[in-house]
Chain A
Amino acid sequence: MSTSVIQPTDSIESTTAPLLEIKNLRVVLPILEGDLVAADGVNIQIKPGKTLGLVGESGCGKTMTAQSILQIAPKIAKTSGQILLHYADRPPTDIVALGKNDPELLRIRGGECAMIFQEPMTSFSPVHTIGNQLIEAILLHRTSDKKEAREIAIAMLDKVGIPAPAETLKKYPHHLSGGMRQRAMIAMALSSRPRLLIADEPTTALDVTVQAQVLRLMRDLQRDLGMAILYISHDLGVIARMADEVAVMYMGSIVEHAPVRELFRSVKHPYTKGLMGSAPRIGKKSGEPLATIMGNVPIPINKPTACGFFPRCPVGIAGICDQVVPPLVEVAPGHKSACFRYPQVLAAAGLESGTTNE
């Protein structure tokens, strides 16, 4: 599995073939109040060995998008679009089209794509030992030999920095601290040597020092094992450390997408700007109130055809932003945005750039 081709590139349109391609993904949850659109035409590419950061507030659809990759979204969710997992030697698999008991799906889950979750406290079954659950994953994807599986399990726990790995196998989750559990979780996810690791806010429930350790661990493991990471977070600081590229999500749509340095150098969407302004930073004057984005994320039930951010946007253009859905287009080299403040976006939507009155 030498899929990692480390290519220093500052552009999204790199020549490397993607590992995973999400095309026009739409996830709808039909609930009593109407159709809740959790993901609305999401297009993402994840490249081998690279990290894509997916950022957004709670409820913007990050987790639903990630869960769709493994088909573990709630049963009622209706998914359409394509999620293509590419292989070096055979045509890609569309995960959306797989049946729920398809052996191919079970092989991808945990095998090709593994996932770690936000809550290390509840991610393990409380009534089975760590070893039982870890070895189960190895037996599913790596080997059918129990003894070998045990050895791999011990090696993995050692790799993620858990002291006394052999004894840890016999322990129950409640014997471990949150940080240790998240390490064990990472060991379990990586035990099958996946090509893609989906990390859904893996450090949100941990305290800052442990968070730093876990982030470093993930980066080291990525360097050693060469897997791609889809890193989901609402924390721009963490994203800045982890990601090669960033996609910003709002109300089920990607609103900005750029290489990480480019994004932080020149933000091209008012929502991202708002997110950055509301992040606490060392060096900020103490006592100064933190900037916030006005209002809450609206619940995307029966979404109007308009820019989802318009009601909260400080620079929204009445008559355009509340009438038309802005498409996501390149507004600078390698930098996509879905904001009508940019003439390219207006042009892509078939509108005159003169209609803006800046």
Chain B
Amino acid sequence: MLSYTVRRLGYMIVNLTLISIVCFYIINLPPGSFIETYSTQLDAAGSPASQAQLDYLTARYGLDQPLYVQYWNWIVPLVTQGDFGYSFEWQQPVWTLLADRLWLTIIFSIVSMVFVYAVSIPVALYSATHQYSFGDYSVNLLGVIGLAVPNFLLALLLLVGSAKFFGVTPTGLYSPQYMNAPWSWDKFVDLLIHLPVPVVVVGLAGTAATIRILRSQLLDEFQKQYVITARAKGVPERRLLMKYPFRVALNPIISTAGHLLPEIVSGSTIVAIVLGLPTIGPLLLRSIIAQDTYVAASSLMMLGVLTVVGVVMSDILLTILDPRVRMNRTN
């Protein structure tokens, strides 16, 4: 078990290294650079920069260097000093930009995941144990709708609806007065008040999908011999359900939990823009458009870290829960 964990952590480092290289390469694929975007903007604004100025900036940001040198200049301080580089566009360290958003993103993602599981697991249990009942059909119908409705549309509808009927627009994660205030208990409470709408919007598709997966898993498990064995030995139905089929049906849910985390982050970019959520998604989008290399690369890297850490965590959790996985892996 320990050696497996250590080995997985080793793979994780290899993975992250590869992800960082690929991220950096892809971001630099589009022709041009931030300087060119910048000079176009200045031209459009009617005050073109001189070539000397642009050359100076290019040299200062190291954009005249070959790509691998640029990568090296980014990754070495990142790993050794936790320095994510400097944003061309925002004229401040990338970390300052990311830090607040990163925490919000993590909090938001975790709350969304908790929401997804807290809703989908009981509903799936009900649905599977009452197969073909009215409740089951209703859940299925709602599930299909939940999967089919794009979440940004739902976000828009909620915005319009609440503006029309309540006169408030549930955007952002804080009330204006806390926007730039330092963290305090009141600010935290304010955050909690603002969370439900975006969490429901972002979590709906995941909830619907999880209900469907878990329901069909449970229905499969109900047919299995070990369930009949347990029933034949006199285990009461409710305990039987939770101890045997539910436990086994959870496996695919746990093994995909790692993917849910980044999915929430990247999948919610459009929703985040619509609802004005200060998460990483909108920042990433904007930095890519502006070719703000270090912001884009660092944001992508953060998503990569979330993904890889999530997957490793769910894999380790799975080996704890399922002895068969343990055996296969150690052999």
Contacts and interface: CB of A to CB of B under 8 A. Distances in A.
Q: Are the chains A and B members of one assembly? A: yes
Interface of A: 70, 72, 100-101, 106-111, 114-115, 117, 119, 122-129, 133, 136-137, 140-141, 172, 174, 185, 188-189, 192
Given A122-B226, A126-B248, A109 B232 contact: yes
Contacts of B229: 115, 117, 123-125, 185
Contacts of A174: 323-324, 327
Interface residues of B, number: 22
Interface in B210-248: 224-226, 228-237, 243-244, 247-248
Contacts of B232: 70, 72, 109-110, 114-115
B125 interface: no
A132 to B, nearest CB: 9
Nearest to B222: A75
Contacts of B110: none
A174 to B, nearest CB: 6
B231 A125 contact: no
Contacts of A106: 234-236
B322 interface: yes
Contact of B234 (A107, A123, A185): A107
A110 B228 CA distance: 12
| 10 nearest A-B residue pairs (beta carbon) | A110-B233, A110-B234, A109-B234, A122-B225, A125-B226, A115-B232, A172-B323, A137-B233, A106-B234, A123-B229
A89 B232 CA distance: 25
Contacts of A110: 232-235
Helix, strand, loop or mixed for chain B's interface? helix
Contacts of A115: 229, 232
Nearest to B232: A115
Contacts of B225: 117, 119, 122-123
A185 B229 CA distance: 9
A179 B261 CA distance: 44
A172 to B, nearest CB: 4
A205 to B, nearest CB: 11
A109 B232 CA distance: 5
A149 to B, nearest CB: 13
Nearest to B226: A125
Contacts of A119: 225
A126 B234 contact: no
Nearest to B248: A127
B233 A125 contact: no
Given A126-B323, A172-B324, A174-B323, A109 B226 contact: no
B248 A72 contact: no
Contacts of B230: 125, 133, 136
Given A114-B232, A174-B327, A122 B224 contact: yes
27 contacts: A72-B232, A100-B237, A101-B237, A106-B234, A109-B233, A110-B232, A110-B234, A115-B229, A115-B232, A117-B225, A122-B226, A123-B225, A124-B226, A125-B226, A125-B243, A125-B244, A126-B322, A127-B247, A127-B323, A128-B243, A136-B235, A140-B233, A140-B234, A140-B235, A174-B323, A185-B229, A192-B233
